[in-house]
Amino acid sequence: MSAGYDHGISEMKHEKPLWWAFGMTAVFLVAEIVGGILTNSLALLSDAAHMGTDALALGISLFAVRMSRRPPDAKRTYGFARMEAIGAMINGGMLFLVAGYILWEAVGRFREPTEVASTGMLVIAALGLLVNLISMRLLKAGSGESLNVKGAYLEVWADMLGSVGVIIGAVVIMTTGWTLVDPIIAVLIGLWVLPRTWTLLREAGQVLMQGVPAGLDLDRVRDMLLAHPGVAKVHDLHVWALGSKEPVLTAHIILTDETQPPDAVRQSLATALTAAFDIEHATLQVDASTVIEGPTHA
């Protein structure tokens, strides 16, 4: 038994906040790049690099939203729901590259410290922080519902942290003249971003590899199916996700009594799966008892 699919609906309501965040980020990006060059601040340039990946990430997220809304067709029977995970994977990859580049540049600054225009650095970073905070506010709700939006939110979060770091660095340089704080902050930003980026990549990879959705225990699902009085065995049990919130299940079951109506058992199991695990898309096939010999398997 399987339910009808309605992909992309959860993404649609997050499109407008994505557009707002994208517009603000793209406009401020130009100012931050120019400011980073003029002030000679690596921390500010690292923040500008994050801002650039923010703009690209938000653009990718918007593209993924649009694509995920396209209906299934003869070649893509599940539609484009997995564009969400693909968008998150691309965003995560960009974050890794940017963080790695900043760490590499910071090593050079440690060897040869350079002068930094702290006043301009402070002003630009403060404006960047404001843009980041607004964007985070816009994306926060969707970050808990979509891997795609979560990737964009993580990009903006990392950039917000970068802006805070740049502000701290600018204040330290203004008061003490200690320019080494600039690459130190850049390194701290990179080290903060990398593990969170890895988490995002792992979650997106889990979806693309058709892994069991996060928070869902396959053994519990199997035990619930076997606990039904009409089920003797369960085999070929698979659970995966089309996107962040669309678990799908397929399984073969053997009835305890082959004379009982298979449709009634399937309907009962499908209802139980929705109630217990929020699995609304379940395909359950009833096999003859002679099909399976030996232990059950997933």
CATH of the domain at 249: 3.30.70.1350
pLDDT value of position 218? 92
Gyration radius of the chain over CA positions: 25
27 in a structural domain: yes
294 in a structural domain: no
Say yes or no: 61 and 185 in one domain: yes
Cα dihedral value 116, 119, 120, 123, nearest 10: 140
Say yes or no: 59 and 178 in one domain: yes
Question: SS3 sequence, 179-210?
Answer: CCHHHHHHHHHHHHHHHHHHHHHHHHHHHHCC
Query: How many angstroms separate the CA atoms of 69 and 133, rounded?
Result: 28
1 in a structural domain: no
Query: How many angstroms separate the CA atoms of 183 and 163, rounded?
Result: 14
> CB within 8 A of 203, min separation 6: which ones?
88, 147, 150, 214
pLDDT value of position 292? 41
> CB within 8 A of 52, min separation 6: which ones?
29, 33, 98
pTM: 0.66
Which of 145, 180, 208 marks a domain boundary? 208
Kindly indicate the confidence band of residue 145, based on its pLDDT and cuts at 50, 70 and 90. low
Query: How many angstroms separate the CA atoms of 252 and 185, rounded?
Result: 55
> CB within 8 A of 286, min separation 6: which ones?
252, 253, 254, 255, 262, 265, 266
For the cut 50, the answer to whether the pLDDT of residue 212 exceeds it is yes
Say yes or no: 240 and 188 in one domain: no
In tens, the pLDDT along 152-170 reads 777 777 778 777 887 888 8
For the cut 50, the answer to whether the pLDDT of residue 171 exceeds it is yes
In tens, the pLDDT along 225-246 reads 999 988 999 999 999 887 766 7
Kindly indicate the confidence band of residue 69, based on its pLDDT and cuts at 50, 70 and 90. confident
For the cut 50, the answer to whether the pLDDT of residue 274 exceeds it is yes
pLDDT value of position 293? 43
In tens, the pLDDT along 89-123 reads 887 887 788 778 778 877 877 877 666 667 777 88
> CB within 8 A of 190, min separation 6: which ones?
46, 99, 100, 102, 103, 106
CATH of the domain at 186: 1.20.1510.10
Say yes or no: 223 and 194 in one domain: no
Sign of the C-alpha dihedral computed for residues 15, 20, 24 and 26 taken in this order:
positive
Say yes or no: 193 and 230 in one domain: no
Most confident of 5-9, 132-136, 189-193: 132-136
Q: Within a 10 A sphere around the Cβ of 182, how many other Cβ atoms? A: 30
Range of the domain at 21: 9-208
Which of 138, 173, 208 marks a domain boundary? 208
Q: Give the residue among 137, 141, 133, 181 at the shortest CA–CA distance from 159.
A: 133
Q: What is the pLDDT of the chain when averaged over all its residues? A: 78
Query: How many angstroms separate the CA atoms of 171 and 7, rounded?
Result: 49
Say yes or no: 257 and 189 in one domain: no
pLDDT value of position 153? 79
pLDDT value of position 269? 93
Query: How many domains are there within the chain?
Result: 2
For the cut 70, the answer to whether the pLDDT of residue 11 exceeds it is no
pLDDT value of position 42? 66
pLDDT value of position 27? 77
Most confident of 13-27, 63-77, 200-214, 222-236: 222-236
Say yes or no: 116 and 242 in one domain: no
Residue for token pair 């359950």: 284
Say yes or no: 120 and 161 in one domain: yes
